[in-house]
Amino acid sequence: PEQIRRKMQGIPQYKIPAGFILSQQTFSLEKNEITANMKLKRKNIQQNYAVPIEQLYVELENPQSEIHNKPIHMNQETMLLS
């Protein structure tokens, strides 16, 4: 998280994402997340990651959530960051 904050210095606030989802899974053709030309299929990615995306919004809206202080591990492969 500290590395991310350093890289974001100098970027206008409105361009900085409120949160991140880190996953050990790569986007794949098998899961229909990319095309043969390696372009992202955003709608399919949103569908495949709907649960972590929703959880990220819930955590970010809660001022008492621990996401504001440290990453939240959803499982062995996915983590939420603020």
Tell me the whole-structure pTM to 2 decimals.
Answer: 0.77
| Other CB atoms within 10 Å distance of the CB of residue 49 | 17
Each residue's pLDDT tens digit, 21-74: 989 999 999 999 999 999 999 999 999 999 999 999 999 999 999 988 888 888
Predicted pLDDT of residue 7:
82
Predicted pLDDT of residue 1:
61
Cβ burial 8-27 (10 Å sphere, 16+ → b, else e): eeeeeeeeeeebeeeeeeeb
